[in-house]
Structure 1
Amino acid sequence: MTAPIDIYYDFRSPYAYLAWWRIRRQQALSSWQWRWKPVSIDVLLNLQAGREPLAPYVDPLPPPKRKHFLADIRRSANFLGAPLSPPHQPRPDPAPALCVALRLAQDGIPHDRFIDMVFEAMWQHRRDIGTREVLTNCLTSAALGETAIESAVSPGTRSELVAQSKQAYEMGIFGVPSFVAHGEIFFGADRLDMLAWRLEQQSTPSIGQGAMESG
């Protein structure tokens, strides 16, 4: 594996959490080079519905699908052995954490451990990742300075998060988690196996190609 795989995520997505869980714990996945790209699922949903990027949140799921969605998350977590606690209520605002991740990436600061801490805080410990206290704890646990919060939560950085989300939507990203490898998009935590299959296909020369190269 040489080229990095882009993974578009929002901390608020339970399926992004489950994808993160697999990537961190399965050797075949953790050995790949991942490039984590924060986007706002709210912005993506608004763009799909023809609304302004920062329009108020509207639940896109009808009641039967919402019921299945919640049951499927619990079932998927049990299947994968991933700890899962009901999210903090009221609904946490993931934007501050996403902005911190975006700013760290822009500054070239390795921050995979920060991503780990935020996912754990929200989905394992029911912490409100929209608060400064929780973000400070995540940065400290990741051995990063909390000064990153100051620039990250500014209106300018939030605008950059919206811009990155819009750019992702324009290239075909409509939900999270989404993985992009060699220009091909795979959507959903359950597509990690298909992604692995595709990458293996692309890295294994065909019989004809091998014969030509050795001839």
Structure 2
Amino acid sequence: MSLSYDLYWSFRSPYSYMVVPRLIALEAEYDVVCNVKPVYPLAVRTPEFFETRDPLWVSYFMKDVFREAAFLGLPFRWPRPDPVQQANGSYRVPQPHIHRLTHLGVAAVERGRGLAFLKEASHTIWSGEVENWHEGDHLARAAGRAGLDFAEMAEAVDADPDRYAAVVEENQLEQRAAGHWGVPMMVFGGEPFFGQDRFDQMVWRMRQQGLAARAA
């Protein structure tokens, strides 16, 4: 019997970008299924979280993300543009990029290619290999690499944004009910594993529950 886990994931989270290659490798090698549940980033859900942080939080975070990417051997640069918009240091402004990105993630999940789209889109956004990831055909090419028809998917998202927003809201409620609010967060057997650095612990727990190699 396949094991399964839920993945709460944000397009604005560098750590979410960093965990995806390991999740894909896990699914390729073992009989396990990832249930992708895209959520909006904290900067959009609860902007006050960042307004009350100690200044050292930001300086440490910016050191750590570059160090962690180098440790994992992943190309990394802060996105240009940032998926979340700011004005005068505040996130309380319209957010055209992150809402559409997250809704596209939901659409990819509904088409059975959720994890593949997360990998390709986040690489486009975070690797530093693409300028202005939101323009031209960058996202369309990412979707194509993930086995998706971007034009069809984007048309569906743009035609009914309220439905996709409702799915994201439900994911966010489920995430908190599962025990945390941050991303990436994996939930296996009712147990939350918050942070890309908890990947190995999740696999350890899966082995205790009979994780088996995927049949050739």
Asked if Structure 1 and Structure 2 have the same fold, meaning a TM-score greater than 0.5 normalized by the shorter chain, the answer is: yes
Work out which of the residue numbers 162, 185, 188 in structure 2 matches 1:178: 185
For the pair shown, the structure with the greater C-alpha radius of gyration is 1
Question: What CA deviation, in whole Å up to 9, does each residue of 1:101-144 have, x standing for no partner?
Answer: 212323x4334332221011111134555557433232233332
SS in 2 for 1:169: helix
Query: What is the CA–CA distance in structure 1 between the aligned matches of 2:36 and 2:82, rounded to whole Å?
Result: 27
Tell me the amino acid that sits aligned with residue 12 of structure 1. Answer: R
Q: Report the equivalent of 1:42.
A: 42
SS in 1 for 2:74: coil
Q: Report the equivalent of 1:105.
A: 109
Residue 162 (structure 2) pairs with residue 159 (structure 1): no
Work out which of the residue numbers 122, 125, 140 in structure 2 matches 1:136: 140
Residue 200 (structure 2) pairs with residue 193 (structure 1): yes
SS in 1 for 2:3: coil
Structure 1 pair 94–47 and aligned structure 2 pair: CA distance change class (3 A):
closer
Q: TM-score w.r.t. structure 1 length?
A: 0.76
Structure 1 pair 89–148 and aligned structure 2 pair: CA distance change class (3 A):
closer
Q: Report the equivalent of 2:58.
A: 66
SS in 2 for 1:61: coil
Work out which of the residue numbers 152, 155, 158 in structure 2 matches 1:150: 155
Structure 1 pair 40–3 and aligned structure 2 pair: CA distance change class (3 A):
same
Structure 1: gaps (5+ residues): 50-57, 205-215
Give how far 1:59 is off. Answer: 4.8
Question: What CA deviation, in whole Å up to 9, does each residue of 1:30-55 have, x standing for no partner?
Answer: 53322211111237852996xxxxxx
CA RMSD, Structure 1 to Structure 2 (Å): 2.9
Q: TM-score w.r.t. structure 2 length?
A: 0.76
Give how far 1:97 is off. Answer: 1.9
Query: What is the CA–CA distance in structure 1 between the aligned matches of 2:114 and 2:199, rounded to whole Å?
Result: 22
Query: What is the CA–CA distance in structure 1 between the aligned matches of 2:57 and 2:47, rounded to whole Å?
Result: 21
Give how far 1:88 is off. Answer: 1.2
Question: What CA deviation, in whole Å up to 9, does each residue of 1:137-172 have, x standing for no partner?
Answer: 322333322111122133312233223223322332
Of 156-165 and 15-24, more deviation after overlay is shown by 156-165
SS in 2 for 1:33: strand
SS in 1 for 2:187: strand
Structure 2: gaps (5+ residues): 85-96, 212-216
Q: Report the equivalent of 1:114.
A: 117
SS in 2 for 1:4: strand
Give how far 1:196 is off. Answer: 1.5
Tell me the amino acid that sits aligned with residue 85 of structure 1. Answer: R
Structure 1 pair 104–169 and aligned structure 2 pair: CA distance change class (3 A):
same
Tell me the amino acid that sits aligned with residue 161 of structure 2. Answer: P
Query: What is the CA–CA distance in structure 2 between the aligned matches of 1:129 and 1:166, rounded to whole Å?
Result: 29
Does the CA contact (< 8 Å) of 1:86 and 1:126 recur in 2?
Answer: no
Percentage identity across paired residues of the two chains: 24
Q: Report the equivalent of 1:213.
A: none
Work out which of the residue numbers 152, 165, 168 in structure 1 matches 2:175: 168
Tell me the amino acid that sits aligned with residue 203 of structure 1. Answer: G
Does the CA contact (< 8 Å) of 1:6 and 1:36 recur in 2?
Answer: yes
Query: What is the CA–CA distance in structure 2 between the aligned matches of 1:91 and 1:105, rounded to whole Å?
Result: 20
Does the CA contact (< 8 Å) of 2:184 and 2:195 recur in 1?
Answer: yes
Residues matched between the structures, number:
194
Does the CA contact (< 8 Å) of 2:24 and 2:115 recur in 1?
Answer: no
